Amino acid sequence: MQARLAATDLACRRGDRLLFRGLSFECDAGEALHIAGANGIGKSSLLRILAGLLRPLAGSVLHEGGIGLVDERLAMDENLPLGRALAFWEHIDGCRDPGRAFEVLDLASLMEVPVRYLSTGQRKRAALARLLNRNCPIWLLDEPLNGLDTQAQKAFEALVLGHCDGGGIAVVASHQGFALPSPRTIELAEYAA
Domains of the chain: 1-66+136-193 (3.40.50.300), 78-135 (no CATH)
Residues 6+ apart with CB under 8 A from 150: none
Q: Which amino acid is at 13?
A: R
pLDDT tens digit sequence for 13-68: 988 999 999 999 999 999 999 999 888 899 999 999 999 999 999 999 999 999 99
Q: What is the DSSP letter of 184?
A: E
Percentage of the chain modeled with pLDDT above 90: 47
The secondary structure element, H or E, covering residue 129 is helix 120-134
When pLDDT is cut at 50, 70 and 90, the band that residue 96 belongs to is low
Lowest mean pLDDT among 88-92, 100-104, 130-134, 161-165: 100-104
Cα Rg of the chain (Å, integer): 16
pLDDT of amino acid 1: 57
Distances (CA, A) of 129 to 49, 108, 133: 23, 11, 6
Average pLDDT over residues 93-105: 72
44-53, 95-104, 143-152: range with lowest mean pLDDT = 95-104
Which among 20-24, 98-102, 185-189 has the top mean pLDDT? 20-24
Strand order through the sheet with 184-187: 67-70, 138-142, 169-173, 32-36, 184-187
pTM given for the model? 0.89
